[in-house]
């Protein structure tokens, strides 16, 4: 799969998220630009995953602003997800659908090539070649996480967001993730949430979130 560079800039300004009376985090600012890899780190409950969800629009921040610019154009909120790929361990998959069906569905929804050759390329990239016709219910936890990478990459997003990038993956899977992160540098940018030192070492900058407050 060939890739080209996309000028992307993510600016998170004073974003805070509150669940009821509890502040998950308050006033977080960071930015990621083309070719950059930024890691968000912090103790359990500090809101790393929540921050990623706020960035990709899965939840609305209680305050602050998230701005995504792609090819020097501000992306309207409703279109942000078209430019973002998220791979997170708690992103559920349909147990009765096959990996190929997941990918075909995502390709159709994103309006990108969902041909067998392309799906095979993606499955090969994440180490699932030959398993595309198996139902996801028969997959191990690590295989499901690999499929999440294929789904996150199917539309070649400008911004790749990874929550616990190598969770549940073996050494070979972790190497695949590292290569995906490096590839993404030449295509766009990466924002990841992790506490693993081996993963934060891939990043140019590390943003540390504080402990949860009540």
Partner 1 sequence: MTQERKTVGLLSGAYAVLRKELQTELRDRAALNATLLFSVAGLAIVAYGVGPAVLPAVVQSALLWVVLFFAAFSGLAHVFTHEEEAGTSAFLRLTADAHAVYLGKLLFNLLLTALIALITVPAGLVAVSASPDRPWMFAAVALAGVLALATSATVVAAIIARAQGRGALFGAVGLPLLLPVLLIAVDATKNTLEPEMIAGLAGREIVGLCAFAVMVIAASWLVFPAVWEE
155 is a contact residue toward partner 1 (CB under 8 A): yes
Q: According to CB under 8 A, which one of 23, 101, 121, 134 is a site residue for partner 1?
A: 101
11-50 residues near partner 1, rule: CB under 8 A? none
Helices (H), ranges, the chain = 48-55, 99-110, 116-125, 141-153, 171-185, 197-200
Which one, 96 or 214, has the nearer CB to partner 1? 96
116 is a contact residue toward partner 1 (CB under 8 A): no
Inter-helix orientation angle 99-110/116-125, to 10°: 110
Give residue 24's region: left, alpha or beta (phi > 0; psi -120 to 50). alpha
Q: 62: how many CB neighbours lie within 10 A of its CB?
A: 15
95 is a contact residue toward partner 1 (CB under 8 A): yes
Nearest distance from C-beta of residue 38 to partner 1, angstroms: 20
Summarize as ranges the residues that interact with partner 1 (CB under 8 A). Answer: 2-4, 6, 53, 56-60, 81-82, 84, 86, 88, 90-97, 101, 105-106, 108-113, 135, 151, 154-156, 187
């Amino acid at each position: 799969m060939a890739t080209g560079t996309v000028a992307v800039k993510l600016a998170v300004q004073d974003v805070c998220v509150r669940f009821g009376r509890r502040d998950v985090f308050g006033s977080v600012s960071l930015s990621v630009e083309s070719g950059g890899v930024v890691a968000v780190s912090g103790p359990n409950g500090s809101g790393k995953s929540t921050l990623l969800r706020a960035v990709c629009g899965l939840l609305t921040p209680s305050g602050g602003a998230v701005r995504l610019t792609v090819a020097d154009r501000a992306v309207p909120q409703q279109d942000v997800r078209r430019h973002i790929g998220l791979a997170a361990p708690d992103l559920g998959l349909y147990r009765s659908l096959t990996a190929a069906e997941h990918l075909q569905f995502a390709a159709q929804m994103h309006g990108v090539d969902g041909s067998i050759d392309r799906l095979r390329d993606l499955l090969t990239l994440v180490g699932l070649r030959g398993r595309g016709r198996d139902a996801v219910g028969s997959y191990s936890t690590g295989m499901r996480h690999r499929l999440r990478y294929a789904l996150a990459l199917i539309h070649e997003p400008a911004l790749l967001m990874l929550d616990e990038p190598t969770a549940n993956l073996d050494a070979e899977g972790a190497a695949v993730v590292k290569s995906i992160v490096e590839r993404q540098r030449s295509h766009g940018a990466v924002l990841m949430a992790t506490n693993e030192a081996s993963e934060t070492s891939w990043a140019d900058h590390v943003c540390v979130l504080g402990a949860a407050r009540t």
